Structure 1
């Protein structure tokens, strides 16, 4: 017998959940985990203005490498999928959406 829809045990995912909602959680978490590189790139861009394309290559590459390492990690995907399923189960049980934390604008 299949568990009821909405429980974490029933992990069937719709297309939008697999391709949009879980990757969104991955992006948010990866930005948090790479926050030092995000801050370094942001600082470089603010200091150099229009020349940022040339002068901030090193910071941009470090940031991109950090983010991509998380985006391509299957274990990280599974972690974010589990987090999403918990949020979905909680929402379906209570009808209350989890409020997103607003990150500071410099992150």
Structure 2
């Protein structure tokens, strides 16, 4: 969810990143406006039920790839002939 929301809030992420790079140590004080805008954008996506469902479906799709066995259970349980 975090990755997808950051992609959708890319403009705010870029603004905040640029401000932090330009400000150096004083970024805590100077970048409050950009930080607030970024938090607001991310929070809007985190609280959106449609976005949550979209992320959940994508996660389940990805998880399914890793849960599929390389070899079927029936074939794994078969006894293979040994070489003599």
TM-score normalised by length of structure 1:
0.61
Q: Identify the structure with bigger relative contact order (alpha carbons < 8 Å, sequence gap 6+).
A: 1
The list of structure 1 runs, each at least 4 consecutive aligned residues, that deviate by more than 4 angstroms after superposition, is: none
CA RMSD of aligned residues (A): 1.2
Structure 2 stretches lacking a partner, 5+ long: 71-84
User: In the aligned structure 2, how far is the partner of 1:87 from the partner of 1:51?
Assistant: 41
Structure 1 stretches lacking a partner, 5+ long: 1-25, 96-107
Q: Aligned residues, how many? A: 70
Report deviation, 1:93: 2.1
When you count helix as a share of all residues, which structure comes out higher?
Answer: 2
Rg larger in structure: 2
TM-score normalised by length of structure 2:
0.77
